[in-house]
A and B are shown apart, each in its own frame.
Chain A
Amino acid sequence: MTDDRPGSSSRAPGIAAVALFGVLAAVILGSAGGFGDPVGFPAGESIVHTIGYALFDIGLGEIPVEGFLAAFLIIAIALDVALDSAVYLAKREDEGTIVSALTDGGRDIVDGPVSGDDSEGGDR
C-alpha cells in the first residue's frame, strides 16, 4: 500500500492551506458586524415538507424557497452519467466478466503492473 506515514510526504504545501484559513478567518471576523439576527423559520411549518415541495416546484408551504425542479431533473441524468462512467471504468475488458473486486494486494504482493496488457504503457 502507499506509504502514507506521517513525514513521508512534503509538509511545505500544507502551510498554504493554513495561510488560507488565516485569510478566510480575517475576512469573516472583519465582516462579523454585518450579520443581523437570523430570520429563522416560522414555528409549526414542516421543513421537510417544504423541501419536498421545492424539489418538485410545487410552491406550497409558508417558508420561501426557490424552485429546484430543473436541478432535480438534471441531477437525475447526472447520476445516470456517473453510473455509466463508473461502470465503464471499473469493468475488466480482458476476461469479459467482472471478477471479484480487488481487496488489497499492492506493492508487497504484486510488483509492477497488475493489468495483463501493458504493451502501450508509459508511452510518453
Chain B
Amino acid sequence: MVPVEYYLLLSSGLFCIGLFGILTRRNALYFLMSVELMLNAANINLVAFSFYWGNLTGQTFALFAIALAAAEVAVGIGIILALYRNFGDVDVMQAATMRW
C-alpha cells in the first residue's frame, strides 16, 4: 500500500509543474495545457483521499472537475481564436500589452 502522503507529493509536484509552465511559456495553448495539469493535480488528491477517508465524495467531485476543465478549455479556445483573428498570433505576452 502506497502511503497517502506520497500522493500529496505527486499532486503538488504536478501542480507546480503546471504553475512553472504558466509562468514561463508564452504560447496561449501551452498555457491551457499547464492549467489542465494544475486541475488534474487536484483530481489526484480527490481520488487518493476518497480511498483514505473511505467515502466516495472525492471521486464523484473529480468527475465534475474533469467536466468543468473541458468547459473551460472550450471557452478558452474561443477567446484564443478571437485573439488570433485580431492579432495574428497566440502569444500571451504580445497581446498582453499588460500593465500588471
Interface readout for B1-40 with A: 1 if CB under 8 Å, 0 if not? 1011100110011011101100111110010000000000
Chain B min CB distance to A122 (Å): 9
Cα(A14)–Cα(B23), bound, Å: 6
Contact (Cβ within 8 A) B60 A17: no
When chains A and B are docked, how far (Å) is the Cα of A25 from the Cα of B16? 11
* B26 contacts A25, C-beta separation under 8 Å: no
Q: If the complex has contacts A32-B5, A82-B75, A115-B86, are A89 and B81 also in contact, measured as CB distance less than 8 A?
A: yes
Instruction: Write out the residue numbers on chain B whose beta carbons fall within 8 Å of the beta carbon of A86.
Output: 74-75, 77-78
Q: Tally inter-chain residue pairs, CB-CB below 8 A.
A: 156
Indicate if A64 sits at the interface (CB-CB under 8 A): yes
Counting contact residues on chain A (CB < 8 A from B), the size range is 35 or more
Let me know if A41 and B24 touch, CB within 8 A: no
**Is the beta-carbon distance between B5 and A68 smaller than 8 angstroms?**
no
CA distance A115 to B5 in the complex (A): 51
Closest-CB distance, B73 to chain A (whole angstroms)? 9
Chain B facing A: main interface SS: helix
Judge whether B88 and A89 touch: CB under 8 Å.
no
Residue numbers in A under 8 Å from B86 (CB-CB): 113-115, 118, 121
With both chains docked as a complex, state the minimum distance between the C-beta of B10 and any C-beta of chain A, in angstroms.
Answer: 10
Q: How far is the CA of A81 from the CA of B75 in the complex (A)?
A: 10
- A21-64, CB under 8 A of B: which get 1 and which 0? 10011001101100100111100000100110011000000011
Given contacts A25-B9, A111-B88, contact A41 B51 (CB under 8 A): yes
Q: Is the CB of A107 within 8 A of B12?
A: no
A/B interface sample: 21 pairs, CB < 8 A:
A1-B27, A2-B91, A3-B91, A4-B25, A17-B23, A35-B5, A35-B52, A38-B4, A38-B51, A38-B53, A38-B54, A54-B56, A54-B60, A64-B56, A75-B64, A82-B71, A86-B74, A86-B75, A92-B85, A102-B81, A118-B86
Q: Given contacts A2-B90, A17-B20, A75-B64, could you give 4 more A-B pairs where the C-beta distance is less than 8 Å?
A: A2-B27, A2-B91, A65-B55, A90-B78
